A and B are shown apart, each in its own frame.
Chain A
Amino acid sequence: MYNLRRMTGEKPVVQHLIKCCASYLYTVSVVAIGWFFAHVGGYTFSILVHSILFIIMLLAAQFYRKISKKYLAIAIGYTAIIIAVPLYSMPFTDYRHFAFLGLIMTAYLSPYPMAIILAGIVNISVFLSYLGRWPDTDQLLGHTFGMAIMSVSFAVIIHLLRSLTRERDNYRQLNIQLQETNKQLVFLAEDLKRKNTELNQFAYVASHDLKAPLRGITNLVEWIEEELEDALQGEARKYMDLLQVRAQRMENLIDGLLQYSRVGSTEVKKELVNCQELLKEVLEDLSPPLSFRFSFAENLPQIFTNRVGLKQVLLNLIGNAVKHHTREDGLVEVTVREAGRFYEFSIADDGPGVAPEFQQKIFVLFQTLKPRDTLESTGIGLPLVKKIVEEQGGEIRVASEEGKGAIFSFTWPKGSEGDTADA
């Protein structure tokens, strides 16, 4: 309840009580003024003053906001009372008590402060009618006091009811809004999913169609080379070689894009993966220089997961460590530790490292730190790794200083059936 009240902006009950007392005090002060006017100018003068006040208030209300039906009802009630006042010739009865309190209630039920003011004016009219009948001050004060207490009690009860009603209404409104928002979210999620699929489809088709003419170009270059044989010399030879390297780069880029666009677009069957064996496979695929040294942790787990994705990540990270190393006898260490429902893998090398200013850039698509043809870099490797890791709900980061090696750490979910680790 308390939280709901905060959510809906509902004021606490104490504040309601203060507001209610204040408005009653205001009503009483208006009564006092009315009494004063009646005392000074007589009954007719007082009615005149109230009528003018009434018109000013109506105008003011109209100026600030449109008049509600409730407001109009109260105004009509007020007019009726003014007309009825001269008829108050008989002694004060219980009937008039109730009429008066009814009006106060109506006023307090209304969400407009102006209605409370109007109720105050009605108050004055009724009191003025007493004034004409009972000039006895003690009796008048007695009646005023009694009515004040009753009005305040009623007002308090009505305010509490009102705040509860409002809370309920707000709650209902909130519920409706929540359902509406939920619907929108579901729609947006579906829309996003559809657009993502379309985008991946597009990337796939585009890449696929790009490959066909490229293969043609590669073929043609090769044939020209074959046809010309020894005639191809000097600059022409150099240009032909450059052409081939460019064509190769284009093919690498397209393959990278194809791979990148495929991540997450297909449902992958999970399987139990022995990380020790997976790393062995990675090394076989990489076939690094024999002098390169590798150290894999003993506690590598078995994970029930997407084997292809995890292999790609390890392949790229270890491949990078080897490819970018400046020496033939580099060292790559793979360690793992548990981090909640994830394993955190770390691939540390003693290579050239990554300067802090480039550590974010390396994960951005097509960003390479070296001239593009010096290494087979397409600028897709690390972004691909990042995409695969994030697709699994994990994170990747790099810790490095230039010249002091780099540590790439990524988290990978343990998987529902992966708790057979360290078996």
Chain B
Amino acid sequence: MLSNNVNILLVEDDEVDAISVRRVLAKHGISNPLYVANDGWEALAMLSGGKGLPKIVKPCVVLLDINLPKMDGFEFLNELRKDPELRTTNVIMLTSSEDELEIKKAYDFDVKGYLIKPLVTEDLSKLLAQIA
């Protein structure tokens, strides 16, 4: 099971999807702190702190959607991997795209897993266990 000190940053612009993740986690007794960023830009700001947004402290894991406004999932990954402080951040994709090209692209950015919506807790737990 998940160690309680891992912060989860969900990057998701759809409120219903965000609630869905929150509910699923709650239902399975996963009580890690869950933060939600609406786009890649906001997520970066939250990880590096500043811009008036709450800073996410390590250890943390990012649950990342692909289709996002302002800065999409891949642009976010690109920026993340360039940042010397954040480049090692664990990322798990959580998206509705089953496109093989996108899956490959995501793994090229060294993501720890690729999950298809809706979120299945067991899959997430397994991945988190691997990371921890």
Asked whether A and B interact, the reply is yes
- Which residues in A have some Cβ–Cβ distance to B below 8 Å? 208, 211-212, 215-216, 219-220, 223
- For residue B75, CB closer than 8 A to chain A, the reply is no
Rounded to whole Å, the gap between the CB of B40 and the closest CB of chain A is 18
Let me know if A215 and B23 touch, CB within 8 A.
Answer: no
17 A–B contacts from the bound complex (CB under 8 Å): A208-B96, A211-B96, A212-B14, A212-B96, A215-B16, A215-B17, A215-B96, A215-B118, A216-B16, A216-B17, A219-B16, A219-B17, A219-B19, A219-B20, A219-B118, A223-B19, A223-B23
Indicate if the CB atoms of B96 and A220 lie closer than 8 Å. Answer: no
CB of A251 to closest CB in B, whole Å: 12
Is there a chain A Cβ closer than 8 Å to B117's Cβ?
yes
**List of A residues within 8 angstroms of B117 by Cβ:** 215
Nearest chain B CB to A284 CB, angstrom units: 23
Q: How far is the CA of A253 from the CA of B81 in the complex (A)?
A: 40
Interface string of B41-64 (1 = CB under 8 A from A): 000000000000000000000000
Q: Which of chain A's residues have a CB closer than 8 A to the CB of B96?
A: 208, 211-212, 215
10 tightest A-B CB contacts, nearest first? A216-B16, A219-B20, A219-B16, A220-B16, A212-B96, A216-B14, A223-B23, A211-B96, A215-B118, A212-B14
With CB as the reference atom, state the residue of chain A lying closest to B27. Answer: A226
In the complex, which residues of chain B have a beta carbon less than 8 angstroms from the beta carbon of A212?
A: 14, 96
The smallest beta-carbon distance between B23 and chain A, in angstroms, is 7
CB distance from A266 to the nearest CB of B (A): 11
B17: A residues at CB distance < 8 A: 215-216, 219
Chain B contributes a number of interface residues (CB within 8 A of A) equal to: 9
What is the minimal beta-carbon distance from A252 to any residue of chain B, in angstroms?
A: 17
Cα separation A141 to B19 with both chains bound (whole Å): 116
Residue of B nearest to A209 (CB): B67
Question: Chain B residues near A219 (CB, 8 Å)?
Answer: 16-17, 19-20, 118
15 additional A-B pairs beyond A215-B17, A219-B17, A219-B19, beta carbons within 8 Å, are A208-B96, A211-B96, A212-B14, A212-B96, A215-B96, A215-B117, A215-B118, A216-B14, A216-B16, A216-B17, A219-B16, A219-B118, A220-B16, A223-B19, A223-B23
In the complex, chain B residues whose CB is within 8 Å of the CB of A211 = 96
**A215, B118: Cα distance in complex, Å:** 9
A85 to B118, CA, bound (A): 107
Which chain A positions have C-beta within 8 A of B19?
Answer: 219, 223
Closest CB in chain B relative to A200 CB, distance in Å: 15
Q: Which residues of B contact A220 (CB under 8 A)?
A: 16
Residue in B14, B16, B20, B117 with the greatest tally of chain A CB atoms within 10 Å:
B16
Q: How far is the CB of B118 from chain A (nearest CB, A)?
A: 7
**Minimum C-beta distance from A221 to chain B (A):** 11
Chain B min CB distance to A262 (Å) = 12
Instruction: Give the complex CA separation of A211 and B67 in angstroms.
Output: 14
Docked pose: A333 CA to B90 CA in angstroms:
55
Complex CA gap A211/B118 in Å reads: 12
Alpha-carbon distance between A212 and B96 when the two chains are bound, in angstroms = 8
Write the chain A residue with the least CB distance to B98.
Answer: A208
Binary contact track B110-125/A, C-beta < 8 Å → 1, others 0:
0000000110000000
Measured CA separation A211–B97 after assembly (Å): 11
Q: Please report the C-alpha to C-alpha distance between residue A208 and residue B96 in the assembled complex, in whole angstroms.
A: 9
In the assembled complex, the Cα of A223 lies from the Cα of B19 at a distance in Å of 10
Alpha-carbon distance A249/B67, docked complex (angstroms) = 26
Q: Mark B3-19, 1 if CB is under 8 A from A, else 0.
A: 00000000000101101
How far is B117's CA from A211's CA once the two chains are assembled, in angstroms?
Answer: 11
- Closest beta carbon of chain A to B49's beta carbon, Å: 31
Q: Whole-angstrom distance between the alpha carbons of A413 and B55 in the complex? A: 63
CA distance A220 to B16 in the complex (A): 7
Residue in chain A with minimal CB distance to B97: A208
Chain A residues whose C-beta falls within 8 Å of the C-beta of B14 in the assembled complex: 212, 216
A residues less than 8 Å from B20 (CB atoms) = 219
| Bound Cα distance A34, B117 (Å) | 103
Nearest B residue (CB) for A223: B23
Task: Report how far A223 CA is from B16 CA in the complex, Å.
Answer: 10
- Cα A208 to Cα B117 in complex, Å, equals 13
Most buried by B among A208, A211, A219, A220: A219
Contacts of A223 in B (CB 8 A): 19, 23
| Bound complex: CA A219 to CA B23 (Å) | 11
Complex-state Cα separation, A326 to B114, whole angstroms = 44
Give every chain A residue within 8 A of B118 (Cβ-Cβ). 215, 219
Contacts of B23 in A (CB 8 A): 223
Q: Report Cα–Cα, A212/B68, bound state, in Å.
A: 13
